[in-house]
């Protein structure tokens, strides 16, 4: 049994979403003691110059306004830290992740909190966690040269220290929706709880 799951959905579709359905099946299969839910259908704010300025101000020198600007990001990072497993539902929009998921990544990839720089390069700080990416696409095959969604998510998760990453793919659904869903369900059944 997984202790804590962070369940992230990024589909703009709140009804009839393949990734929402499949990610919910995975969370149920994992039998988590606690589920932290993050639905990105309600978009997160984009980074702006004030946020960047606050982020690069040393924590002990931040004004109350800067602390407030970073408070949502701090909460999102805390959700990641609490989770043993992260389940991310990500449809493929124009060969990549939805903009709402990119906004989440921008808010959690923070130097000193989720990664840090060393002489040899960046080192992720969130080691020992598992991630399961649920990908659905109309025509993009998972892992293909035009799949910038799962490759990007794998890279960013690894960048913050999460290297145990599995992909459940309902890909190329425009070609064979039934076959794509059957394949994804088989992948879900094969997941270890």
End-to-end CA distance of the chain: 6
- Among residues 192, 177, 190, the alpha carbon closest in space to that of 18 is found at 177
40-65 burial string, b = 16+ CB within 10 Å, else e?
A: beeebeeeeeebeebbeeeeeebeee
Minimal CA–CA distance to 156: which of 90, 75, 94?
A: 90
Angle formed at CA 138 by CA 134 and CA 141, multiple of 5 degrees: 65
CA atoms of 51 and 45, how far apart (whole Å)? 10
| Contact partners, residue 72, CB within 8 Å, separation at least 6 | 44, 45, 107
Query: Is 137 marked as a binding-site residue?
Result: no
* Burial label, 98 (beta-carbon count in 10 A; 0-12, 13-18, 19+): buried
Do 17 and 89 contact (CB within 8 A), yes or no?
yes
Annotated binding residues: 11
Annotated binding residues for FMN: 11
């Amino acid at each position: 049994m997984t202790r804590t799951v962070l369940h992230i959905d990024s589909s703009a579709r709140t009804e009839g979403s393949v990734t929402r359905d499949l990610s919910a099946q995975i969370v149920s299969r994992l039998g988590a003691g606690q589920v932290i839910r993050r639905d990105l259908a309600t978009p997160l704010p984009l980074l702006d110059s004030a946020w960047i300025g606050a982020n690069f101000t040393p924590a002990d020198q931040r004004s109350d306004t800067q602390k407030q600007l970073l408070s949502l990001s701090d909460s999102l990072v805390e959700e990641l830290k609490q989770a043993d497993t992260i389940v991310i539902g990500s449809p493929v929009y124009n060969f990549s992740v939805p903009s709402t998921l990119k906004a989440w990544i921008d808010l959690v990839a923070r130097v000193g909190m989720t990664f840090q720089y060393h002489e040899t390069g960046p080192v992720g700080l969130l080691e020992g966690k598992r991630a399961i990416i649920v990908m659905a696409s109309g025509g993009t095959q998972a892992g293909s040269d035009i799949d910038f969604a799962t490759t990007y998510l794998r890279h960013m998760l690894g960048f913050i220290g999460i290297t145990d990453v599995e992909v459940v793919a309902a890909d190329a659904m425009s070609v064979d929706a039934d076959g794509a869903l059957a394949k994804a369900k088989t992948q879900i059944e094969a997941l270890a709880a």
